[in-house]
Structure 1
Amino acid sequence: MNALLRIAAAAVMAGGLTVTAWATDLKVGFITSMSGPVSSLGIPYAKGIQAAAAYQPEVAGHKVQLIQLDDASDPSTAARNARKLVSEDKVDVIIGTAGSPGALAIAAVARETKTPLISIANASLPGEDGAWMITVPQPAPLMIGAVVEHMKKAGIKTVGYIGFSDAWGDLVYDSLMKAAAAAGIKVLTNERYARSDQSVTGQVLKIVAAHPDAVITGGSGTPGALPYLALAERGYKGPIFGTHALINPDFVRVGGAAVEGLIAPTGPVIVAEQLPATNPIRKVAMEFRGAYQKANGAVPADAFSAYSFDAWLIFADAAARALPKAEPGTSQFRVALHDAINTTHELVGTHGVYNFRPDSRYGSDARSVVMVKLEKGQWKLIP
């Protein structure tokens, strides 16, 4: 700082003012899938982060720079983007990405570089492998447990399963098997398909031949509609279920009549106006809707944009607690931010109330789950 600046700074501080203009910027690296098979999720994530950045553009007097990169739905590109953000852009935190495989690829970079990762895809790694990541979306066991409980109450005894042939498909299936066994429901099939597949006729024929009482899928976004379309083509008339990864307008558009009546779990934000006024999530969810509309010129109709919005809230809350301990842009600040994220307590977001601990990658509890049914293209709260 030259002599003139030193004098000016002294004068300002002597007058009891805060010199926020010279505070070091915080840097958020955001990776999403703006192209490729996961883009039906990646684009809403991007719209949500833009709404969040406009909603809270600074933390404790520090402006927040948002640096966004497209991973083209490719995990290896996601990892390269993460390295670029850390080594070249010197980000303090990474938020991303749209698919579970990509998020796991970023997690490896986050651990290696000791950079906090706030995952907006449903992905988790145990032990030290996942020590530098937390996950915003509700854990699959929590959401699938709610679905299975609904099935049990409806008298369903058998269910067919088809899901992605990747980490997300595995996560849903494993959660389904555990919850179904506890509820006395038998899982008859475990069919898989790739996100880029154009047909699942063979897999659906096997499901229909098994005569399940209901069918549940482990897909997401637009590719998640494929099994329902194939089931409808084969004349399947039984109940259909899904996960929170299907709460997406493109899924509804592509699925059309084939997904009408679908029952799924989701976060409260999807039915915010249907929540009681006493629910603390309602207020934040409605503020998110206003911020989203202002930033994007439209009303949000998906769950994914709200996940990235919540990721920003988690980052901002933790950054405010980390800033007194270290300067942004340093390894010391990344450690302080990591520690602050992992002590997040009762932070109200759009999808739930978040509490993170060092031994848990997820921060959601039962307050983050509601059951909805698709009726005439709109998600309706199931009491």
Structure 2
Amino acid sequence: MKLGFIGCGVISTAHLEGLQQLKNEGKKTFDLTAVCDLRQDRAEEFAAEVERRLGKRPEVYTDYRRMLEEGRLDAVSILLDHDLHHTVAEDCFAAGVHVQMQKPLAISPSFGRKMLADAKKYGKVMTLSEPSVLGADNVAMARAVREGIIGSVYMIMDYATVTLGRKYFAGTAWRHMKGRAGAGWINDHGVHRTHFFTEVNGPIKEVFSYKEIFEKELSDGETIIRPSGEDTSVTVFRFANGGLGHWMCSTAAHGEGTGGVWIYGSKGCFRPGQHAKLEDGTHIPMSEIIERYAPDIVQNPFAHSYVELWEAIADQKEPISSAGRGLEALGVVFAALESATIGQPVNVQDIILGKMHAYEDSVIEEMKSFEK
């Protein structure tokens, strides 16, 4: 099947590495025949890298609509700013092309619901590239926890801070503007975490959160912006099965960043990517957990995302990282943002179904201001 990339920015290299791993391992995969970026020079440079890694140079475009018309593609990976996801996805579906969307699914839940409806309307597959739940490590972890390796999950703690020095995250100013990114880091980084939480321990029922913009100005040395997206959030939540969670993320740390995840159950603790430690002192390394629970899964999460896309198209197999699960993850993020906006706990389903949307309204308002 023929594949195209829409967007040749930083994340495109990770996707290319995933395709390369599948090729090197002799696994069935897509033929990357077209790439598109608004910047011709970036698209040409990326096409050269594709040729170096995969042995064939793709066609280069600067207009994705033209690529859809001329490329005879089966599927595309959409690797663009969050506010463009829903529009580009619909154009792809209408052109008869299946879609893999780089997370988050959409800039906000209402657009995520529209994308799911559009995929159904046109009869096309839409999967989500969400590396926090894909690849051998993550699949093994989720299967092990769900099958009771640490007993019933009591609580999950997840802390992530980065030290930007008042500069732009990933060198991109748009990630700090909620009209382009949907929120601050709680959306860009946060959907990784909320998708992971729900994959490991099921649906999150209720959320309470505080949010803040501590850094009022950011700069890359040439331009200065005043962020509208939050740089810090502190959230507590309750799973439908009664488990609890504490989640904090921030791009406003100074001096020293931090990061770590702990999953505590009735029989032990799981440290993702490291080990499980049981109450009787048993230490189970990640390598053993992978061998036991996910020997069939490719290691690279982005490679796994293309296995899922292929199987969804060819075999109608339900992916782990489905668009529906992506909407659920986005719903948890926006439940936290809604809670911090109104000062009350929020039911996640009220966000997913569109019953509550005070924070989302502010995102859409800023989106419209950028269009003027």
Specify the TM-score bucket, using the shorter chain as the normaliser.
0.3 to 0.5
Find the structure with the greater CA-based Rg.
1
More strand by share: 2
More helix by share: 1
| Structure-2-length-normalised TM-score | 0.43
Q: Relative contact order (alpha carbons < 8 A, sep ≥ 6): 1 or 2 greater?
A: 2
